[in-house]
Structure 1
Amino acid sequence: MTTHDHHHANGICDCIPKWYIDNLGQVGLPYSKVEDYARPPEDSYGSLFLPDRIKKGYHVEELKDGVYWVSGGWYDCMFVCTGNGVIVVDAPPSLGERLLDAIAEVTDEPVTHMVYSHWHADHVGAASMFGPNIKRVAHEKTAELLTRFPDKDRPVPTETFSKDAVLDVNGVKLELSYKGQNHAEGNIFIYAPKQKALAAIDILAPGWVAFKDCDSSENISGWIEAHDQILDYDFDTIVCGHVSRYGTREDVLTAREYTHDIIGFAKQALQEVELEYFMKDLGTGPYMGAFRAAEENYFSAITNLVTKNVLEKTTSNGKLWHQRLNGADVMTKNNAYTMVQKIRLEMSHNGYVTRQGHPEGFFL
């Protein structure tokens, strides 16, 4: 392994740890340097540099009429004071008991209910800290998954629903809705109609580009559709689970525009790039069966073309994407690759090969 010193942003220099593997060449993944990224838009900072978050490890802020947002700087969640108990929406393990501190900072009410947005441990992996006596509400698929894959820190929900439900605690209402698989099976929307506050987790990250591979979403068609489903709500604020600030309607429109740009350029690239160009590199010698090499280069070419077109496009407000979304420049390639693959898997290929050949617009 290559030995060299690693310089931290605070100026401290130490030897590189044993787990830091950087000599794998083509078979490994490259590392990014902070200088590889465009300067982040300052409106994406959110809670990251707020003194209370730095000191306490969390920032808590009232959105409206008893609905609160809590951010640990990378994960966030929501809770609602009802006057007769607190409803918590999600419990990220990265916040952990700091979430209890945030609740205690604004109310003496005990936590009586928890809503699971979905079953993923990074968002509900601290659910057990509320004890065994609260009501735990989730979609039936979430309960099914947590029963199938038990985790002591994610107790199985005590109350479930299949499509829509209203959680009413002391007259404070949350509307719960499942519109089909998107980021994950059982991922629901949680809406406070009086306060016009919405929780829609892992669909977008306000001010930031979606995390790699469209946030590791299971159903990209559903994930794409979820942007429009969010916009069907009458909301003023939206809690998204990541990263460091809550969002507005404008943030959702921005995320949808970015997503649709990737979709459009991905469909275009799938029709433009030719696999045969890379097949000829295999020749007739010992590498003639190395089809994966041609395939890898084929998808790299498609991904690079999509990435170039997305990042060079002037967007609806006259800026480039790296000027609008934190991390859009370096991370777009990951979202582009995933979108290309999911278009192939989830959407029409514009026909199929017949005895006469393939139809116009067909792609592999």
Structure 2
Amino acid sequence: MKTMYRACLLIACLLPFAAGADDRFAKVEISSEKVADGLYMLQGAGGNIAVLVGQDGTFMVDDQYAPLSAKIQKAVAELTDEPLRFVINTHWHADHTGGNEHFGKAPALIVAHENVRKRMSTEQFIETFKRKVEPSPAAALPVITFTDATTFHWNGETVRVQHVDRAHTDGDAIVHFNRANVIHMGDTFFNGNYPFIDLSSGGSVDGVVATMDQVLGMANDKTRIIPGHGPLSDRAELQKQRDMLVELRGRIQKLIDAGNSRADVIAARPTKDYDAEYGQGFMKPDLWTGIVYDSLTAKN
């Protein structure tokens, strides 16, 4: 199961950049898992989706890649007959916002942090993958933006959408379904892999750890946590990954403080005892160590 997940994660992260990627989406199936009453997690290719259903209408968090929109719409229709009213974007990357144009014409209102709209509306460059990203169509842009937080009172839920600063990107939001005791963390949590930290989009390793600390403070032993990628999770798994990140951040910082170059830090293999568990996805140990090095040295 874990090997299959890691393979799917690798494909998901490469798909938007690969030639003939649309053909590969033909084989993707959208699965649905009940998380709480009226609340489901959908998985396919790209970021995990949360769907809140009820008589007020459907509320969705993230929408994966554009070619999957019809499949996602069909999966949602199997859960409810009510129309889609809101889509929340947890950040700007295409594996979480690709369906915006389709669902925005549904019509649903697209909601995100103001930096998500800024990045989607202008050309971007993801340094880790050396990839240029063209601006999104106008119809795909969030039409409602916020700076700190916004709250929805919907389908008997109080849904708090909270910005977290400079974590995976500079526009991340976590989504707390209060009654259901469920938190969608977007890509501030990659369950089972070293997290991709997009430094070129304003992310930082310190911000990822701070976000995990924030969510740990919100959660209890019964909280269900939807990660940006990977299986449905809980507080204990999040705590484990947070502790791993703090340990490895400390090791890399110690090597930096000793005067080691970027190449020397990577060659020292500071992550080696965690690689079998966390380093089998697209964030390979050397690549991830370099990102953490860059993040830590950027603030010095």
Matches within 5 A, 1:95-134: 95-132=68-105, 133-134=107-108
Given the alignment of the two structures, is residue 176 of structure 1 paired with residue 149 of structure 2, yes or no? Answer: no
Deviation digits for residues 26-76 of structure 1, max 9, x if unmatched? xxxxxxxxxxxxxxxx55656989xxxx98712101100111101115532
How many Å apart are 1:84 and its aligned residue?
Answer: 2.2
Identify if the C-alpha distance between structure 1 residues 91 and 262 changes in structure 2 by more than 3 Å, giving closer, same or farther. Answer: same
List runs of 5+ in structure 2 lacking aligned partners.
9-25, 124-134
The match for 1:301 is 264
List runs of 5+ in structure 1 lacking aligned partners.
1-41, 275-297, 313-320, 348-364
Identify if the C-alpha distance between structure 1 residues 161 and 299 changes in structure 2 by more than 3 Å, giving closer, same or farther. Answer: closer
Q: If the length of structure 1 is used for normalisation, what is the TM-score?
A: 0.65
The match for 2:284 is 331
- Distance (whole Å) between structure 2 residues aligned to residue 59 and residue 328 of structure 1: 21
C-alpha contact (below 8 Å) 1:203/1:226 kept by paired residues: yes
Moved over 6 A (4+): none
SS at match of 1:258: helix
- Distance (whole Å) between structure 2 residues aligned to residue 241 and residue 160 of structure 1: 20
C-alpha contact (below 8 Å) 1:67/1:79 kept by paired residues: yes
Q: If the length of structure 2 is used for normalisation, what is the TM-score?
A: 0.78
SS at match of 1:75: coil
The match for 1:270 is 256
The match for 1:198 is 183
- What is the percentage of aligned positions where both structures have the same residue? 20
How many Å apart are 1:147 and its aligned residue?
Answer: 4.2
Greater CA deviation, 146-155 or 92-101? 146-155
The match for 1:238 is 225
Identify if the C-alpha distance between structure 1 residues 226 and 273 changes in structure 2 by more than 3 Å, giving closer, same or farther. Answer: same
SS at match of 1:232: helix
Identify if the C-alpha distance between structure 1 residues 324 and 48 changes in structure 2 by more than 3 Å, giving closer, same or farther. Answer: closer
How many Å apart are 1:299 and its aligned residue?
Answer: 2.1
Greater CA deviation, 218-227 or 325-334? 325-334
How many Å apart are 1:161 and its aligned residue?
Answer: 2.1
C-alpha contact (below 8 Å) 2:46/2:96 kept by paired residues: no
C-alpha contact (below 8 Å) 2:6/2:281 kept by paired residues: no
- Distance (whole Å) between structure 2 residues aligned to residue 222 and residue 330 of structure 1: 18
Matches within 5 A, 1:123-272: 123-132=96-105, 133-148=107-122, 150-152=135-137, 155-211=140-196, 214=197, 218-220=202-204, 221-234=206-219, 236-243=223-230, 245-272=231-258
How many Å apart are 1:89 and its aligned residue?
Answer: 0.6
- Distance (whole Å) between structure 1 residues aligned to residue 242 and residue 103 of structure 2: 36
C-alpha contact (below 8 Å) 2:169/2:202 kept by paired residues: yes
Identify if the C-alpha distance between structure 1 residues 57 and 328 changes in structure 2 by more than 3 Å, giving closer, same or farther. Answer: closer
C-alpha contact (below 8 Å) 1:263/1:339 kept by paired residues: yes
- Distance (whole Å) between structure 2 residues aligned to residue 166 and residue 78 of structure 1: 16
Deviation digits for residues 237-296 of structure 1, max 9, x if unmatched? 2222213x122112211221221122111122123355xxxxxxxxxxxxxxxxxxxxxx
- RMSD, aligned α-carbons: 2.9
